[in-house]
């Protein structure tokens, strides 16, 4: 009865708009979304790799828009500033749709020095996009003791999604 009352209470123009909108919604593309549980899976795997190697770090996972989902600072994080760097690396990887290390390389090689003017981004190794079905759904950022360690930890986290 309530559904019938709501339907009857809608003005005809609004009902027609909603009906057309529903038909249009069927043609809109859809994309996978990185859930909190998936972000936790990535973080736990990254943390396990960091612990196994003895590399204390900060780990951050963001969604496809670069917005934070989860952040963890291990007790023995090598770089306390990693609480700023790790989410920045993840955000950079998500929004530029590539590893943050690629941007670092572009600046350091002199091929893209203007990239340094991209304020609010972290152009350092350790940010890696998370891809599902060919679409970037998020990214992980890691700040440990060395850039190579950051990338190893990040990629170990991402690998957990395919298991």
How does pLDDT run across 75-131, given as a tens digit for each residue?
999 999 999 999 999 999 999 999 999 999 999 998 888 888 888 999 999 999 999
Local confidence band at 23 (pLDDT 50, 70, 90 cut-offs): low
Please count the CA atoms within 13 angstroms of the CA of 92 that sit on its side-chain side: 27
What are residue 71's DSSP bridge partners?
Answer: 60
Q: Which domains does the chain have, with CATH numbers?
A: 36-162 (3.30.450.150)
* Percentage, residues of the chain above pLDDT 70: 85
Residues 6+ apart with CB under 8 A from 67: none
**CA distances (Å), 23 to each of 16, 30, 38, in order?**
11, 15, 31
Q: Is 93 exposed, middle or buried (0-12, 13-18, 19+ CB in 10 A)?
A: buried
Contact 46, 142 (CB under 8 A): yes
Distance CA 20, CA 32 (A): 25
pTM recorded for the entire structure = 0.83
The burial of 4, by beta-carbon neighbours within 10 Å (0-12 exposed, 13-18 middle, 19 or more buried), is given as exposed
CA–CA–CA angle 106, 85, 45 (5° rounding):
100
């Amino acid at each position: 009865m309530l559904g019938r009352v709501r339907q009857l209470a809608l003005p005809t123009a609004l009902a027609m708009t909603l009906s057309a909108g529903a038909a249009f919604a069927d043609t809109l593309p859809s994309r996978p979304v990185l859930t909190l549980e998936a972000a936790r899976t990535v973080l736990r795997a990254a943390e396990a790799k960091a612990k196994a190697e003895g590399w204390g770090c900060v780990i951050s996972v963001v969604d496809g828009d670069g917005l934070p989902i989860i952040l963890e600072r291990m007790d023995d994080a090598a770089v306390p500033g990693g609480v700023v760097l790790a989410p920045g690396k993840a955000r950079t990887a998500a929004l530029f749709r590539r590893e943050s290390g690629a941007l670092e390389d572009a600046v350091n090689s002199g091929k893209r020095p203007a990239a340094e003017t991209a304020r609010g981004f972290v152009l350092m190794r350790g940010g890696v996009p998370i891809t599902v079905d060919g679409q970037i759904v998020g990214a992980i950022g890691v700040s440990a003791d060395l850039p190579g360690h950051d990338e190893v930890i990040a990629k170990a986290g991402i690998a957990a999604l395919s298991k």
